[in-house]
Amino acid sequence: TTSGAEMQVYHPKTGKPLEGMTVTVRSFQHEEVQSVVKRQQARAAMKVGRDGKPLDPTKEETERNAVELYDALIEGWAGFALNGDVMACNHENKREIVTGKKWDWLLLDVLNFASTGANYFRPDDAGGDLAETPRLAAHKAGKGDKDAG
């Protein structure tokens, strides 16, 4: 089972759906994504100058943070290929997408999708109202929350 939601991939220039290309994206509320964000915030908080002011991250730190974040946000994908070869959804290929220029247009789409809570709800078969996904319902019930119980 997956804990993310499926995002349709659209052509960056035409805006038309790229048939068969989807990304399974975790929300920013997902435990793994939260862990990455907290770790990055802690690293940033420790990086201060002699005057006590925060220092800007280096290019390498910015790239590492991006790779870590997208590695957590992207749970899987379908239909991705590079030079005719199918791209498996793994850390190395996620890194290629994050650091390369060929896929940079996709990154903002993933961020926007992960930031939109409505993407993690599904229509209720009975009445058409929004119903929580089983994972979100379990989280709210305390089953997925470490502080519950």
0.85 exceeded by the pTM?
Answer: no
SS3 sequence, 59-112? HHHHHHHHHHHHHHHEEEEECCEECCEECCCCHHHHHHHHHCCCCHHHHHHHHH
Q: In this predicted model, what pLDDT tens digit does every residue of 83-92 receive, in sequence order? A: 889 999 999 9
**Six-digit token string for 147:** 């502080």
In this predicted structure, what is the pLDDT of residue 130? 45
Q: In this predicted model, what pLDDT tens digit does every residue of 72-107 receive, in sequence order? A: 999 999 999 888 899 999 999 999 888 888 888 899
Q: In this predicted model, what pLDDT tens digit does every residue of 11-44 receive, in sequence order? A: 999 999 999 999 999 999 999 999 999 999 999 9
In this predicted structure, what is the pLDDT of residue 9? 96
In this predicted structure, what is the pLDDT of residue 54? 84
